[in-house]
């Protein structure tokens, strides 16, 4: 590699590290804000969550209760503990108040499941445009989401608003035997209130579930009717959900184009590094291949030629059966020597 090429490569790497560090720092701030906002709305107090106490709670409950391994701490267990520690008896709470607590807890649950792994994800712009333009027209099996690379994720959403992101996790529901996708959007509204939404998958997710009815509520995590929310974000709310789901589904596909980004040293990344934040860059090879194909198509004006520009991707074989992923953790190395990403079947290069 010549000096010019090496310098260009180093600049790209510095830009990649900087983007990952900024996203990790923003995810930390967003997590703190969601917790503080929800605690203030529910109990009139603020303060960080004690992760060690949550680990202890998880270990104690796991001794007498089982739930799918793709959830670090289910919402129903978290909300029961949250109410108990704040002196609120469920039997003495009316339905409206209980609904409020459950929605606030659901927003916090996405952060609770993100905290153990602190995984942030950002996508190549071209790949993201391709995912957003691909409609979801067929039912999606709930098992398709069991290959997510971590219990909780923070996805960068530059297409939604500057500084926007979403905490996402799976939840087994009140019966600990169903599948929900819990989403908490941050950095969207001017007043900073997070947007919480739940997608019920049951056996599968149908396209109609991406445009459900909304109920207007106040004094809670922000909820809007579709027309009002669409005017705030500048696009139909169903499209926001569909694009988010497409981003998650790509991570669960066989052999996604994903690589881990090491956070650089320096003041901007010290907190993220201390908290063991993991950054994943998605589509860095596929996006470049798509852009090359677009340039070639534009140069030939869509005419057929013998030349074809194809993405240069290695087929990943470090995958495990999705049913097995939903039942037990995957540990150790693949037979090829590649380390499997924490308890999931995603190979990160």
The answer as to whether 313 is a domain residue is no
Tell me the C-alpha distance between 191 and 119, whole Å: 26
pLDDT tens per residue across span 244-303: 999 999 999 888 999 988 776 655 555 555 557 889 999 988 878 888 877 766 666 656
Q: What is the mean pLDDT of residues 80-96?
A: 80
The answer as to whether 207 is a domain residue is yes
pLDDT at 47 exceeding the cut of 90: no
pLDDT tens per residue across span 306-328: 555 444 433 333 333 333 333 33
Q: What is the mean pLDDT of residues 91-106?
A: 80
The predicted structure's pLDDT at residue 347? 42
- Looking at per-residue pLDDT, the higher value among 140 and 215 belongs to 140
pLDDT at 51 exceeding the cut of 50: yes
Tell me the C-alpha distance between 227 and 125, whole Å: 27
The answer as to whether 281 is a domain residue is no
The answer as to whether 98 is a domain residue is yes
For residue 233, report the phi and psi dihedrals to the nearest 5 degrees. Answer: -90, -10
Domain count, the chain: 1
The answer as to whether 128 is a domain residue is yes
Tell me the C-alpha distance between 232 and 190, whole Å: 9
The answer as to whether 323 is a domain residue is no
- Predicted structure pTM score: 0.77
Boundaries of domain holding 202: 3-251
The answer as to whether 44 is a domain residue is yes
Q: What is the mean pLDDT of residues 101-110?
A: 89
| DSSP single-letter state for residue 171 | E
pLDDT at 167 exceeding the cut of 90: yes
pLDDT at 89 exceeding the cut of 90: no
The answer as to whether 326 is a domain residue is no
Q: What is the mean pLDDT of residues 226-255?
A: 81
The predicted structure's pLDDT at residue 229? 65
- What is the gyration radius of the CA atoms in the chain, in angstroms? 21
């Amino acid at each position: 590699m010549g000096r010019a090429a090496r310098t260009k490569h180093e600049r790209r790497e510095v830009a990649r590290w900087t983007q990952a560090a900024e996203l990790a720092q923003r995810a930390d701030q967003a997590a703190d804000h969601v917790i503080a906002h929800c605690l203030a709305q529910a109990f009139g107090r603020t303060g960080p969550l004690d992760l060690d106490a949550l680990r202890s709670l998880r270990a104690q409950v796991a001794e007498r209760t089982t739930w799918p391994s793709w959830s670090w701490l289910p919402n129903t267990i978290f909300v029961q503990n949250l109410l108990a520690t704040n002196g609120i008896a469920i039997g003495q709470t009316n339905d409206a108040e209980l609904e409020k607590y459950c929605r606030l807890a659901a927003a916090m649950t996405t952060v609770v499941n993100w905290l153990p792994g602190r995984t942030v994800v950002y996508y190549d712009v071209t790949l993201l445009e391709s995912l957003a333009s691909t409609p979801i027209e067929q039912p999606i099996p709930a098992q398709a989401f069991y290959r997510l690379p971590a219990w909780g994720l923070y996805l960068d959403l530059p297409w939604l608003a500057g500084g926007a992101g979403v905490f996402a996790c799976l939840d087994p529901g009140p019966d600990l035997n169903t599948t929900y996708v819990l989403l908490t959007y941050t950095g969207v509204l001017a007043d900073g209130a997070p947007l919480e939404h739940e997608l019920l998958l049951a056996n599968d997710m149908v396209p109609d579930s991406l445009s459900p009815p909304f109920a207007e509520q106040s004094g809670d995590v922000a909820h809007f009717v579709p027309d009002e929310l669409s005017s705030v974000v500048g696009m139909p709310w169903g499209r926001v959900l569909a694009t988010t789901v497409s981003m998650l589904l790509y991570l669960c596909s066989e052999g996604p184009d994903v690589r881990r980004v090491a956070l650089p040293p320096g003041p901007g990344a010290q907190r993220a590094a201390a908290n063991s934040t993991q950054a994943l860059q998605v589509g860095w090879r596929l996006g470049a291949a798509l852009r090359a194909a677009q340039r070639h198509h534009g140069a030939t004006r869509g005419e057929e030629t013998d030349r074809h520009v194809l993405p240069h991707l290695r087929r990943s074989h470090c995958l495990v059966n999705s049913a097995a992923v939903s039942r037990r953790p995957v540990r150790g190395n693949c037979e090829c020597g590649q380390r499997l990403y924490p308890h999931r079947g995603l190979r990160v290069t």
